[in-house]
Structure 1
Amino acid sequence: MEKHIYPTESGTVSYWTAGPRNPGACTLVFLPGLTADHTLFDAQMAHFSHTYPCIVWDAPAHGESRPYPLDFSLDDYALILHGILAKENVSRPVLVGQSLGGYVAQAYADLFPGEVAGFVSIDSAPLKRSYYPKWEIAALRHTKGMYLSIPWRLLRRWGSFGTAATPHGRAQMRVMMERYGRRDYCELATHGYLMLSDAIDACRPYTIDCPALLLCGEYDRAGDVRPFNKKWNEVEGIPLVWVPRAGHNSNVDNPEFVNNQIEQFLHSIDGENV
């Protein structure tokens, strides 16, 4: 992988590219979840970069895109991502977002209609206001005290066991958490929930105007992600596939299955000449 730096007014954003340079082909853009870094998609970058152009980033304030002030919104993420893709001459992005990354993809599609060739949601949820009761949005705005009250040792255990169902997945999440330290991790996590609640409360259409696929770990216990995916599938008819033997980070717990599903999705896009 080749590392790049994208400058913004608030700081620099790190991202990595790999794979063949083919401006006419779909480019896979991998978007990790909240507090996760680009290594979350190591198995996907290794697999797909043999045949597709691939990009993965450390979102602002994540991983190597630090230091970065916690003053950004979900739309800011989408705008920065758009700038990166323009810089890389990407015209047909397939946005593959895990958890928070799935929200970023939806904000991107909303701000730039017609530009996304495909969307793969991995253990994420819809952004439309109609899916959320008022109490849940209010709860998202008040997580800081809860996070800061949990001892760091216990928080690391909960964070790793709550996101992954396999020893490898838990170990990887623990490593990513430890790169922050307690205070930075808690501040980033709570800001992430706040910007998510702001995006939902904006009551925008968040129309997905491209082929889409929902992937969700059968053992995903992160909030209401599993019920959200069931309802997302029922209401909007987006295909939903349960990832066996996987938790919230299903692309790490069961990369072979997830890679196969993404591969089939890409073939369907090529078949439709999107």
Structure 2
Amino acid sequence: MEKHAYTTELGTVHYWTAGPRNPGACTLVFLPGLTADHTLFDAQVTHFSHVYRCIVWDAPAHGESRPYPLDFSLDDYALILHAILAKEDVSRPVLVGQSLGGYVAQAYGDIFPGEVAGFVSIDSAPLKRSYYPKWEIVALRHTKGMYLSIPWGLLKRWGSFGTAETSRGRAQMRAMMDRYERREYCELAAYGYLMLADAIDACRPYAIDCPALLLCGEFDRAGDVRPLNKKWNKVEGIPLVWVPRAGHNSNVDNPEFVNSQIEHFLHSIGRENA
């Protein structure tokens, strides 16, 4: 992959590109989850870059996009991503977002309607306010103390075992967590939930105006992601596929299955646009 940098007023955001750069061809944009970095999608970039152009970032305050002050919103993420894609001459991307990355994709589509060719949600959830009880929004705003109260070694164990079902997935999550200092990680995680609460409380439409696919690990234990995906599928009719033998980071636990589902999705988009 080729590494690039995009500079904002607050800091530098790093992203990577791979694959053929054909004008008008499909571009896959991979958006990692909270505290995760671009390596979360290594298996997808390796698989798809033989045919498609691929872009993956370290979101602001994540991975190599540090230092970066915790002074941004989900909309800011979407605006920065849009500027990066404009720099790379990408006009209608297929956004593939895991967890927080799925929320970024929804904010992107809300701000830039008609500009997304497809959306794949991996272990994420809807942003519409109607899906969430008030107490849950309140809880999202008060997680910092909880994170800071947990010893770092135990938190890393919970983080790796809570997001993955396989030794490969747990090792990768542990490696990503090891790149942070304890307080930095806790503050970033808590800020991410606060940012999510603000986005949900904005009560915006977050309409998905493009073909979409929901992928969710059958053993995903992150909050209420599984029931929310069931409701998302039922209310909005977006196809939902359970990823076998996978937890919250299902694209790492079972990359072969996830890659095959994304391939089917991309082929269906191609038929619709034919």
TM over 0.5: yes
For residues 211 and 69 of structure 1, the distance between their equivalents in structure 2, rounded to whole angstroms, comes to 34
Give 1:161's aligned amino acid: F
Pairwise mapping of residues 38-117 of structure 1 onto structure 2 (< 5 A)? 38-117=38-117
**Could you tell me how far 1:130 is from its partner in structure 2?**
0.1
For residues 192 and 91 of structure 1, the distance between their equivalents in structure 2, rounded to whole angstroms, comes to 27
Residue ranges of structure 2 left out of the alignment (5+ in a row)? none
Query: Is the aligned partner of 1:26 residue 2:22?
Result: no
Q: Which residue of 1 aligns with 2:202?
A: 202
Q: Which residue of 2 aligns with 1:125?
A: 125
For residues 234 and 90 of structure 2, the distance between their equivalents in structure 1, rounded to whole angstroms, comes to 32
Pairwise mapping of residues 224-239 of structure 1 onto structure 2 (< 5 A)? 224-239=224-239
For residues 42 and 96 of structure 1, the distance between their equivalents in structure 2, rounded to whole angstroms, comes to 13
For residues 83 and 143 of structure 1, the distance between their equivalents in structure 2, rounded to whole angstroms, comes to 31
Give 2:126's aligned amino acid: P
Secondary structure in structure 2 of the residue aligned to 1:183 = helix
For residues 23 and 201 of structure 1, the distance between their equivalents in structure 2, rounded to whole angstroms, comes to 38
Q: Which residue of 2 aligns with 1:145?
A: 145
Structure 1 length as normaliser, TM-score?
0.99
Give 2:146's aligned amino acid: M
Query: Is the aligned partner of 1:184 residue 2:177?
Result: no
Q: Which residue of 1 aligns with 2:161?
A: 161
For residues 202 and 14 of structure 2, the distance between their equivalents in structure 1, rounded to whole angstroms, comes to 28
Aligned 8 A contact 1:25 1:92 in 2 = no
Q: Which residue of 1 aligns with 2:4?
A: 4
- Cα distance per residue 1:187-211 (max 9 Å; x no partner): 0000000000000000000000000
- Cα distance per residue 1:57-111 (max 9 Å; x no partner): 0000000000000001000000000000000000220000000000000000000
Secondary structure in structure 1 of the residue aligned to 2:67 = coil
Give 1:115's aligned amino acid: E
Q: Which residue of 1 aligns with 2:271?
A: 271
Give 1:157's aligned amino acid: R
Q: Which residue of 2 aligns with 1:15?
A: 15
Secondary structure in structure 2 of the residue aligned to 1:102 = helix
For residues 92 and 199 of structure 1, the distance between their equivalents in structure 2, rounded to whole angstroms, comes to 23
**Could you tell me how far 1:228 is from its partner in structure 2?**
0.3
**Could you tell me how far 1:26 is from its partner in structure 2?**
1.3
Aligned 8 A contact 1:23 1:91 in 2 = no
Aligned 8 A contact 1:74 1:104 in 2 = yes
For residues 186 and 23 of structure 2, the distance between their equivalents in structure 1, rounded to whole angstroms, comes to 40
Query: Is the aligned partner of 1:243 residue 2:243?
Result: yes
Give 2:24's aligned amino acid: G
Give 1:253's aligned amino acid: D
Residues paired across the two proteins, number: 274
**Could you tell me how far 1:23 is from its partner in structure 2?**
2.0
Secondary structure in structure 2 of the residue aligned to 1:270 = helix
Structure 2 length as normaliser, TM-score?
0.99
For residues 266 and 175 of structure 1, the distance between their equivalents in structure 2, rounded to whole angstroms, comes to 31
For residues 166 and 222 of structure 2, the distance between their equivalents in structure 1, rounded to whole angstroms, comes to 15
Secondary structure in structure 1 of the residue aligned to 2:113 = coil
Residue ranges of structure 1 left out of the alignment (5+ in a row)? none
Secondary structure in structure 1 of the residue aligned to 2:68 = coil
For residues 114 and 138 of structure 1, the distance between their equivalents in structure 2, rounded to whole angstroms, comes to 32
Give 1:19's aligned amino acid: G
Query: Is the aligned partner of 1:134 residue 2:109?
Result: no
For residues 72 and 251 of structure 2, the distance between their equivalents in structure 1, rounded to whole angstroms, comes to 27
Give 1:240's aligned amino acid: L
For residues 26 and 208 of structure 1, the distance between their equivalents in structure 2, rounded to whole angstroms, comes to 19
Give 1:56's aligned amino acid: V
Give 1:221's aligned amino acid: R
Secondary structure in structure 2 of the residue aligned to 1:65 = coil
Give 1:212's aligned amino acid: A
